[in-house]
Amino acid sequence: MADVQPGKFHPQAALKGYALNRMCFTLNAAENRAAFTADPDGYCARFGLNEEELAAVRSREKKLLFAAGGNMYFLAKLDRVPKPEGAR
């Protein structure tokens, strides 16, 4: 998406990361955080995350999450969920 210009609406850029941000938003609710903690991949599958988004969620690396289209306000919800034991 080389044609994305700061401050200009770009439909493809707006859609990138929609599923990731939607999933993260649901983590506001305690029961959703518990469901995510119990089965992160299964929880992400409900929202149709692609491989790039899923890898970013697994790693929790901000650079990857932003590259996958994550929005900092939605990604903050993911920070509220503890990383699984043994995860990097």
| Rounded average pLDDT per 10-residue block, the chain, 88 residues | 68 85 96 96 96 95 90 92 72
Amino acid at residue number 22: R
The burial of 1, by beta-carbon neighbours within 10 Å (0-12 exposed, 13-18 middle, 19 or more buried), is given as exposed
Residue-level pLDDT at 40: 95
For the whole model, what pTM was predicted? 0.83
Block residue for tokens 């995350």: 49
